[in-house]
Amino acid sequence: MQLFLALCFLLGIPSGAPDIHSLKYFFTAASNVPNFPEFVNVGLVDEVEIAHYDSNTRRKVPKQDWMNKVTDDDPEYWKRSTERNMGRQQIFKANIEIVKERFNQTGGVHILQLVYGCEWDDETDEVNGFHQFGYDGEDFISLDLKTQTWIPLVPQAVISKEQWDKNKAWLDQQKHYLTQECPEWLKKFLEFGRSSLMRKDLPSVSLLQKTPSSPLTCHATGFYPDRADLFWKKDEEELHEDVVKGEMLPNHDGSFQMSVDLDLSGLKDEDWGRYSCVFHLAGGQEVSKRLDKRDIRTNWGNGGGRGTDGGFPTGAAAGGVVAALLLLTGCIIGLIVWFKKRPQGFRATNTSETSSSSGEDPAMKKGSSEEQSMLKPLHEGRVQRGSSH
């Protein structure tokens, strides 16, 4: 269970506004994890996987057709990125052993992770940068770009803070990359994938119930983007009591699904028409489904008293199964990673600074000091610059 939680905490940078876009890079090193690569690197734009490398395939590859456009200006992009990840693979492998020593661990299953990237608000031009390590599903150390210092989140990370804070050149480079270069790459990728990333799709909405005494589930599937909400209303007021929201999950086609349960135990027959399930997509589009016994699909067999033929709609059921499988698959490929959603676990910087893109991923042409010394003391005189895509 600890391993599953370490792998499956979703990275959740708060972004309630519909015009905020993100570029995130995840690095995962695994120790003694059966059937899991020792090292995985995944890139996401607006939560859509754009690139993937793992120690089994030993290749960095595009995960969206439109990402091939990056080679129009740089034919060696994927080859160079592959070579850089081969080097990172060895460094992460060494660093997970160092962290195990700090926790006095000699064996067992362990996960070391790094996430960094940026968010950009295309209305205000505000930028947030983030760079953080986690270990076994818990926050480890985080970069505060406002003060340009590292914040240890467990005692075992203090030694890293003490060493990394001394490297002012690296800290300056990190701030420049996360607040200027990263947003330029994000804008470039958004332009590459505009037709798919900027689309807005409304879902199909179904009412489902497992047994006569089960809560009623409102299930929405097939929507995009993931900046959406699903809730129950009574008359025109949103309900908060007797309601349980489920997690948002990915579908196999890149769209999303989510559900919200309503406890029917105290509901009077004459009040059914006052309830409705509402899906709200960022930007204002909505789908509303009024509560009607005739529309409820069940799985307690023919003659259950509700629904059409006593079975869940095939599409919705299949979608749920597919989503569950994709969630597990996402863990296996390292796409879904740790992140603790709590104030002290995430440090961001706010700035309106922008810069013109150099036309080349800086990480492809410059090394990164976190590659040299992620969790080890910094090597004097061996500071390399650049964060990598």
Q: For residue 107, what is the domain's CATH number?
A: 3.30.500.10
Q: What is the pLDDT of residue 33?
A: 93
Q: How confident is the model at residue 253 (pLDDT cuts 50, 70, 90)?
A: confident
Structure tokens given for 212: 């006569």
178 and 302 both lie in a single domain: no
Rounded distance, CA 316 to CA 262, Å? 18
355 and 277 both lie in a single domain: no
Structure tokens given for 341: 């959603």
Domain contains 289: yes
Rounded distance, CA 367 to CA 389, Å? 11
Structure tokens given for 88: 């990172």
274 and 345 both lie in a single domain: no
Q: Taking a C-beta distance cutoff of 8 angstroms, is the pair 3, 109 a contact?
A: yes
Q: Higher model confidence: residue 8 or residue 265?
A: 265
Domain contains 267: yes
- How many other C-beta atoms can be found within 10 angstroms of the C-beta atom of residue 166? 12
Q: What is the pLDDT of residue 322?
A: 35
113 and 260 both lie in a single domain: no
Give per-residue pLDDT as tens, 142-158. Answer: 999 999 999 999 999 99
CATH code at position 321? 2.60.40.10
Residue 353 confidence (pLDDT) above 90:
no
- For residue 338, which phi and psi values (nearest 5 degrees)? -70, 145
Q: How confident is the model at residue 269 (pLDDT cuts 50, 70, 90)?
A: confident
Domain contains 297: yes
- What are the start-end ranges of the E strands in 122-242? 127-135, 138-144, 149-152, 204-209, 216-223, 228-234, 237-238
Residue position matching structure tokens 């497992």:
210
pTM of the shown model: 0.69
Q: What is the pLDDT of residue 180?
A: 95
49 and 185 both lie in a single domain: yes
Give per-residue pLDDT as tens, 181-228. Answer: 999 999 999 999 998 888 889 999 999 999 888 999 999 999 998 889
Q: Report the domain count for the chain.
A: 2
Give per-residue pLDDT as tens, 367-383. Answer: 343 333 445 432 222 23
Residue position matching structure tokens 């790094």:
114
Rounded distance, CA 55 to CA 164, Å? 27
Q: How confident is the model at residue 288 (pLDDT cuts 50, 70, 90)?
A: very high
90 and 191 both lie in a single domain: yes
Structure tokens given for 250: 């990915």
Q: What is the pLDDT of residue 383?
A: 30
Structure tokens given for 225: 């983007």
Domain contains 384: no
- How many other C-beta atoms can be found within 10 angstroms of the C-beta atom of residue 311? 15
Write down how long the chain is.
389
Q: Higher model confidence: residue 6 or residue 240?
A: 240
Q: What is the pLDDT of residue 388?
A: 52
Give per-residue pLDDT as tens, 67-87. Answer: 999 999 899 999 999 999 999
Q: Which three-class secondary structure state does DSSP give residue 272?
A: helix
Residue 130 confidence (pLDDT) above 60:
yes
Give per-residue pLDDT as tens, 97-114. Answer: 999 999 999 889 999 999
185 and 308 both lie in a single domain: no
DSSP sequence for 267-298: --GGGGGGEEEEEEETTS-EEEEE--GGGEEE
74 and 158 both lie in a single domain: yes
Domain contains 364: yes
Rounded distance, CA 63 to CA 42, Å? 10
- For residue 266, which phi and psi values (nearest 5 degrees)? -105, 15
Q: Taking a C-beta distance cutoff of 8 angstroms, is the pair 345, 140 a contact?
A: no
Give per-residue pLDDT as tens, 298-352. Answer: 876 544 445 544 444 334 333 443 333 334 334 433 333 334 333 333 233 233 3
Domain contains 220: yes
314 and 245 both lie in a single domain: yes
Q: Taking a C-beta distance cutoff of 8 angstroms, is the pair 93, 39 a contact?
A: yes
Rounded distance, CA 320 to CA 330, Å? 15
Q: What is the pLDDT of residue 265?
A: 87
336 and 326 both lie in a single domain: no
Domain contains 276: yes
Give per-residue pLDDT as tens, 32-76. Answer: 999 999 999 999 998 889 999 999 999 999 999 999 999 998 999
Handedness of CA 130, 133, 138, 143 (dihedral sign): negative
Q: What is the pLDDT of residue 299?
A: 72
Q: What is the pLDDT of residue 300?
A: 65
364 and 308 both lie in a single domain: no
102 and 228 both lie in a single domain: no
- Report which DSSP code applies to 180: I
Full residue range of the structural domain in which residue 319 is found: 204-330
Q: What is the pLDDT of residue 78?
A: 96
Give per-residue pLDDT as tens, 227-248. Answer: 899 999 999 899 998 899 999 9
